[in-house]
Structure formats: structure tokens, C-alpha cells
Amino acid sequence: MIGKHIAAQLQMLCPPDMCLGYVEPFCGSLGVMKHMTDKGYKSYHAYDKHADLITMWKAVRDETIVLPDVCSEAEYGLWKDSSFECIPERTAIGYGMSFGGVWWGGYARDPDGKRDYMRELRNGFGRLLPKIKNVKFGAADYKDLEISDKLVYLDPPYQGTKGYSAAGHFDHNHFWSWAEKLADNNTVVVSSPTAPEGWIQVWASQKWRNLQKKSRRHDTERLYIHAPIFDF
């Protein structure tokens, strides 16, 4: 739900007529992108370092992904141990059938036996499909992207957390230096618990950080923009 609120803030910070398109270098689960594609921006580009994820999103968009009707724990293990990479179905199971949606984070189980995770995954893709038809996907490291005159939403791994295991180690100092340079000719908005000097908070909202009821807690989602964009 937080993605919808973030999308509204992004549109206010940089309306479609003030840029040449919208870009997400860390598109992840498309939690924000899916709420941006009806806002009227000239173009939509979604990138992620995890090539398997991008291959999956392309297959969802192009309606070429074919999910199995069921996925037992044994089948989950076979998919995980498979040497085949960049197979959309494997990636979908690696996230959608895993505990907490964590990449191969263990087979998801419902203590009450009422949930059908594969059906939820299939239905989720169906709801997402019309929202990403106009999105161009690309597998890329954020450092290799050349972006100009765009609204850029950055949602990097949070410092001090386990991060995004599929993408490997993340250099936060380098990221903030890169984001500052990117802000010279783009409207750059960063989602982060904190930000270095030169960035100002423009919005904050509480959200659930843990999916498990017994250990759920609120964290604060914060959006930052580079201060020089404002004329004080």
C-alpha cells in the first residue's frame, strides 16, 4: 500500500510535463512502478541488477510466463537447485513461493493450511499485467545507467539491513555520490531511513517492516530530494 502513497508524492514533486519520463534503477517488485504507469509520463523504464528478475517481468508483461498449477516443497527444492537461470518460472517461484517473499528464503507455509501461494502469485501477475504494458525493462547495475531529464525514483537496499541478496554487496557511500551527480540534470527522489548532508526529507510515513504478526513493527518510510533542486 505504501507504493501508492509514494507514487502520489513523486507525481507532485515532478509532474509529467516537467520531465521526459520516469525511471526506476531499483525496480524490485514494482511496488511503486505499478502506481506510476497511469500518470501520463512520456516513458517508463525499470531496471534491476538481478537479471533473472527482469527476465521474469518481461515474461509477465509479454504474457509468456507459464506457472505450474501447484508447487510442493520438494518441487520448490528442485527449482532452487536447478542450474537453469533466467527462467521466468524459476524466478517467480524463487520469490512468490518463498517465506516472506525473500529470494529462496525457504518454502512458504500457511499454518492454517488455507492459503494457496501459487494461486496468489498467478492472480498477482494477472492484476499487474495491464499496469506494466508500457514499461521498458532492462537488466543493469545502477552505476551503468545514463539518465537525463527524467524523474528518477531510487529505492536502494537500506543500510544496516541484510539487503537484496540476489544483487550482492551494496556500497552506500558510492550510491549517494552517484545520486547527487544524477540530480544535476534529473529530479531524483531517494527512499531511505536517513540521508547524508545535502539531502532534505520531503515526506515520511509509517509502514510495516515484518510480515509476521507476532514480530511486526512499524518503520518510517522517508523520501529525500537533493537540496540544490530548491531555490531558497
Contacts of 57 (CB under 8 A, 6+ apart): 27, 30, 46, 132, 135, 137
Assign domain 1-49+140-232 to a CATH class. alpha beta
Output the pLDDT for position 85. Answer: 75
Output the pLDDT for position 232. Answer: 47
In this structure, which amino acid lies at residue 10?
Answer: L
Output the pLDDT for position 227. Answer: 78
DSSP string, 31-57: TTGGGTTTS--S-EEEEES-HHHHHHH
Q: Indicate where the chain has its CATH 3.40.50.150 domain(s).
A: 1-49+140-232
Are the C-beta atoms of residues 190 and 199 closer than 8 Å to each other?
A: yes
| Helical spans, DSSP H, in 82-229 | 88-96, 117-128, 172-182
Are the C-beta atoms of residues 121 and 97 closer than 8 Å to each other?
A: yes
Are the C-beta atoms of residues 154 and 190 closer than 8 Å to each other?
A: yes
Output the nine-digit C-alpha cell for 25. Answer: 534503477
Output the pLDDT for position 165. Answer: 57
Output the pLDDT for position 3. Answer: 95
Print pLDDT tens along the chain (232 aa): 799 999 999 999 999 999 999 999 999 999 999 999 999 999 999 999 999 999 999 999 999 999 999 999 999 999 999 987 789 999 999 999 999 999 999 999 998 989 999 999 999 999 999 999 999 999 999 999 999 999 999 999 987 555 555 656 899 999 999 999 999 999 999 999 999 999 999 999 986 555 555 545 568 999 999 976 555 4
Output the pLDDT for position 1. Answer: 78
